[in-house]
Amino acid sequence: MPLGFSMKEMKDNKRILVLPGDGIGPEVCKEATTILELVNEIHSLNLSFSEALVGGSAYEATGEPLPQDTLKAARESDAILLGAVGGPKWDELDYQYRPERALLGLRSELDLFANFRPAILSKYLTSSSSLKANKVENLDLLIIRELTGGIYFGEPRGRTEGKKEAFNTMIYNQDEIERIGRVAFEAAQKRNKNLCSVDKANVLEVSVLWREVITELSKEYPDVRLSHMLVDNAAMQLVREPKQFDVIVTGNLFGDILSDIAAMMTGSIGMLPSASLNSENKGMYEPVHGSAPDIAGKGLANPLATILSAAMMLRYSFGLDKPATQIEMAIDKTLEQGFRTYDLEGSEEQKLGTREIGQKVIDNLQNLK
Ligand code: IPM
Ligand code: MG
């Protein structure tokens, strides 16, 4: 799984599908693709780019949030960069037409079961965190969320006929738990070897099985220290003492919630990238934030989470560690220079728009060469 690359894969053309989507999606994707094009040139990476419709904008154009053409292009690509989907305009649509369906469809059709959500606090943003500096300084934790199972996809789901009642099913089987467990143990091995599995085993049968399977699996990874935590406690501990965590592994719904909590510790959700991988390192990369319709089209959005997602793409799908690290360093340099977007704390004179902060990152990247 992640990070095994043959020489052949390294040399081949790498097809990137860009799905800008809705709201601020196109603006932030533009900055990230400009940077990918630049590193492509600097390092002769053999990246090629194409674009397709997704989300509300796809619905407007075709009547579907995830058109067949887009799905086909996604299957044929080696990695996907997605901006954001959704907006108030489409809130009243039936479930199957909602922009979010595109996201869920891509995740499940491409079997992107392993969702990496790192929460890393740049040392230049300590004061932007919602927690006290001493609690979050140098925070670096990784949430690994199972992304194609659990209550998001469980059947049956629906409405009971004849009364106002609705239901979803939370279901996980051994294979699903094992494969996300392996990804998490392997990620922990590359970090501080500390894995916390989060569940609700005092109430949910699914969680009892989850705990059993993860515990059994831990025998294969004796170098990793495994702990279990109930999800309510984990939510509290994340806010109380976030640095106690190294890697967290959890199911789809709990991971959705915990990763938003972790996001606020890094100063802004505008700073958080994510990767969703299948078992062959094919991945979809997207900022954790949404489409922010209130600021869409104004050039005010923070593109750094999308640029960081592009860096994750280079590292996880293509094994290109060096250019990935350089992008991250260029972002750090930009923050060190005091430049901020409007979602981040900082002096008003150094606040920059989407394009302008993207350009600072480019300048810093070019100076690194
Ligand atoms: C996320 C989002 C999605 C999810 C929504 C938009 C379907 O909140 O990626 O965290 O719940 O997975
Ligand atoms: Mg979410």
Let me know if residue 146 belongs to a domain: yes
Pocket-testing residue among 19, 103, 276, ligand 1, by greatest number of atoms within 8 A of Cβ: 103
**Which one of 241, 267, 293 terminates a domain?**
267
Structural domain includes residue 6: no
Residue 146: CB within 6 Å of ligand 1?
A: no
Same domain, 262 and 169: yes
Average the pLDDT over 81-98 and give the result. 95
Task: Give me the pLDDT at residue 3, please.
Answer: 52
Type and span of the H or E element at 134: helix 133-136
Say whether both 327 and 309 belong to one domain: yes
The whole-number average pLDDT for the span 60-81 is: 98
Is 273 within the bounds of a domain? no
Handedness of CA 299, 265, 329, 187 (dihedral sign): negative
Of the given ranges (6-15, 83-92, 207-216, 297-306), which has the lowest mean pLDDT?
Answer: 6-15
Whether residues 258 and 126 fall in one domain: yes
Residue nearest to atom 11 of ligand 1 (CA): 256
Q: Does residue 4 belong to any structural domain of this protein?
A: no
Ligand 1 lined by 100 (C-beta under 6 Å): yes
Q: What is the pLDDT of residues 128-178, one digit of tens each?
A: 888 999 999 999 999 999 999 999 999 999 999 999 999 999 999 999 999
Domain match, 332 and 363 both:
yes
Residue range(s) defining the domain that contains residue 257:
121-267
Q: Is residue 224 located within the same domain as residue 244? A: yes
pLDDT band at residue 1 using 50, 70 and 90 as cut-offs? very low
pTM: 0.93
Protein residue with least CA distance to atom 5, ligand 1:
100
Question: Are residues 241 and 298 both part of a single domain?
Answer: no
CA of 104 to the centre of ligand 1 (A): 8
Sheet of 47-51, strand order: 47-51, 14-21, 79-84, 283-287, 273-277, 114-120, 140-146, 247-250, 194-199, 225-230
Q: Is residue 2 part of a domain?
A: no
181: CATH: 3.40.718.10
DSSP 207-269: HHHHHHHHHHHGGG-TTSEEEEEEHHHHHHHHHH-GGG-SEEEE-HHHHHHHHHHHHHHTS-G
Based on the fold, state whether residues 253 and 150 are members of the same structural domain.
Answer: yes
For the chain, the domain total comes to 2
Same domain? For 162 and 187 the reply is yes
Residue 369 — pLDDT band, cuts 50, 70, 90? Answer: low
- Average pLDDT along the chain: 94
Q: What is the pLDDT of residues 318-349, one digit of tens each?
A: 999 999 999 999 999 999 999 999 998 888 88
Q: Look at residue 272 and tell me if it is in a domain.
A: no
